[in-house]
Amino acid sequence: MSFPLLDPSHCALVLVDQQAGLAFGVGSDDRQTLLNNAIALARTASVFKLPIVASTSATKVYSGPMMPALQHAIPDVVAIDRRNMNAWEDEAVRAAIVATGRKRLLVSGMLTEACVSFLALSAAAEGYEVFVVGDACGGLTPQSHELALRRMQAAGIQLTSWLQVLLELQRDWTRHETYDGARAIVEANAGGYGMGLAYARDMLKP
């Protein structure tokens, strides 16, 4: 039986089509919230030293580059541009994922109904354990986003959130090597929870 919780040594992050041209069409959630969540997830991967594979599509035609704020969070990651919707069917993207040597994939991107689900379903069919970070994915409508998540879940793909990923990788706030980085992400990106941590740090004394 495999260990049920995420572990940094087993995971890789795959970002699919986190591009402004696609974000324009997202109606499943507030776009700024989705960007915040994607940035938090990418920063989490960096803090815990997860390999990151990023892919974009139609950058010159419509979608544009990876969103600048997200690229700024992971400046060393170069997105692999492709032509088809299913990143798993792109030889360069697939080779990059395989080269990580990780069998647990955390997936975030747009659109949930297409590029996210196509990659997730294809990778799962080839033996990868796939976790779709649902609150860092955007769909055209709330209903189509939800239906895509339900289809992936029915195929054995697990659904999670960026904050659960961070807390699951940290698990113990006495893990000092990642404490500062993880806490900084929570304070910057986790809304009221982050505000509470900042308050506790600044106002409460042991």
Q: Is the dihedral of CA 76, 15, 104, 190 positive or negative?
A: positive
**pLDDT confidence band for 2 (50 / 70 / 90):** low
Q: What is the pTM of this model?
A: 0.94
What one-character-per-residue DSSP string does 134-173 give?
Answer: EEEEE-SSHHHHHHHHHHHHHTT-EEE-HHHHHHHHH--T
User: Please, where are the H alpha helices in the chain?
Assistant: 20-23, 31-47, 68-73, 91-99, 117-125, 142-154, 162-170, 176-189, 191-203
Catalytic one among 115, 130, 152, 157?
Answer: 115
The residue-averaged pLDDT of 52-59 equals 96
Identify whether the C-beta of residue 13 lies closer than 8 Å to the C-beta of residue 53: yes
Identify whether the C-beta of residue 74 lies closer than 8 Å to the C-beta of residue 46: yes
**Burial label, 204 (beta-carbon count in 10 A; 0-12, 13-18, 19+):** exposed
Instruction: Answer whether residue 1 shows pLDDT above 60.
Output: no
**pLDDT confidence band for 199 (50 / 70 / 90):** confident
> Is 115 among the residues known to form the active site?
yes
Per-residue pLDDT tens for 101-143? 999 999 999 999 999 999 999 999 999 999 999 999 999 999 9
Instruction: Answer whether residue 206 shows pLDDT above 60.
Output: no
In the chain, the domains with their CATH numbers are: 9-168 (3.40.50.850)
Per-residue pLDDT tens for 62-100? 899 999 999 999 999 999 999 999 999 999 999 999 999
Per-residue pLDDT tens for 9-33? 999 999 999 999 999 999 999 999 9
**pLDDT confidence band for 3 (50 / 70 / 90):** low
pLDDT given for residue 205 in this prediction: 63
Per-residue pLDDT tens for 141-190? 999 999 999 999 999 999 999 999 999 999 998 999 999 999 999 999 99
pLDDT given for residue 202 in this prediction: 80
